[in-house]
Amino acid sequence: MLIKKSAVIPSSEITPRSLYLNRRKFLAGAAVAGAVAAVGSRLDELATPSLTVDADAKIDGVKKSPLSTTEKITPYKDVTNYNNYYEFSTDKYEPAGLAKDFKTRPWTVTIDGLVSKKQVLDVGTIIKMAAPEERIYRHRCVEGWSIVVPWVGFSLSELIKRAQPLGKAKFVEFTTVYDPKQMPGQQGRVLDWPYVEGLRLDEANHPLALLCFGMYGEALPNQDGAPLRIVVPWKYGFKSAKAIVRIRFSDSQPLNTWNKMAPNEYGFYSNVNPNVDHPRWSQAKERRLGEFLKRPTLMFNGYDQVASLYSGMDLKKNF
């Protein structure tokens, strides 16, 4: 989930489109919803023949996770038709259609930097590293909207453990795919491509940090980050990198894309914090997709179990 800097974003993209274009209908209680469901095209067979994942396939053997919230799940049609995915478009309704034919097989992920086991892994091999779990997480976008999604994956720490980071590794950097032929948004300079995000190593190793390859019991749709993304539920949505092709371990803090583009607006940590406003709007409340009334935003998005990661830090300075 990405946000554009003020020099290039019109107000119609900051406010949900249904509200911007049809205020009376919105005030009558209409849901913020997508236009036409576009689940995405069928994906090619994985390099591992025994496991095929396509856009319509159920993921077998998924266990329910105790880390899940009990909140009402946002409808699939909303989550798949209202997306911040600037690699395809800055319009929230366009990525579903533009990503329909995006090819996610073959797909490899390079793991390098300060690790004992540098390697290039097929996405199918990664998916089979650990038993899949369904984790129902709430998410908060910097723009003020939120969703609740049943993601499928396993703790990012499982992959990190297999990479065997060296003692001096302190950060993990995620680089997403650069493919302007398939991603029309990358043909412009809205952002400095490819998209880069990062976490401290202890953040990445927290049990809540999810390496994700599915949602709603099925493979990830292209517009939601297929074939592989991370989900970091206590941070604003743009920290959860999509379509990952490289994971690099480093002893220095990565220069993530939005922090590079607008450092006064998007800090490296980007923890959900209702007490630290975005320079152009309040972060104290949020609107869940499909709902009319706003609700108070919770510190760390309600995931208090991560608070110890930031003990002693000034979270207004380290925003």
**Does 154 reside within a domain?**
yes
For the chain, list the strands marked E by DSSP: 63-64, 108-113, 119-122, 133-140, 145-155, 171-176, 196-200, 210-215, 218-219, 229-231, 244-250, 285-288, 295-296
Domain assignment present for 195:
yes
- By C-alpha distance, which of 150, 158, 164 is closest to 128? 158
**Confidence band, pLDDT 50/70/90 cuts, at residue 54:** low
Q: What is the pLDDT of residues 126-174, one digit of tens each?
A: 999 999 999 999 999 999 999 999 999 999 999 999 999 999 999 999 9
- Residue 310 included in any domain: no
Half-sphere exposure of 114 (CA within 13 A, CB side): 14
CATH of the domain at 151: 3.90.420.10
Q: Could you give the maximum distance between any two Cα atoms of the chain, in Å?
A: 59
Provide the percentage of residues in the chain whose pLDDT is more than 90.
82
What's the pLDDT at 247?
A: 98
Q: Does residue 5 lie in a domain region?
A: no
Residue 309 lies inside a defined structural domain of this protein = no
CB 44 within 8 A of CB 105: yes
- State the pairing for strand pair 244-250/171-176: antiparallel
pLDDT digits (tens, 9 = 90+) for 68-114: 999 999 999 999 999 999 999 999 999 999 999 999 999 999 999 99
The pTM score is 0.83
Identify whether 210 is part of a domain: yes
Average pLDDT for the chain? 86
pLDDT of residue 57: 83
Range of the domain at 195: 11-304
Residues 6+ apart with CB under 8 A from 49: none
The pLDDT, as a whole number, for residue 39 is 30
Asked whether residue 313 is assigned to any structural domain, the reply reads no
On whether residue 185 sits in a domain, the answer given is yes
Domain count, the chain: 1
Structure tokens at 178: 């650069």
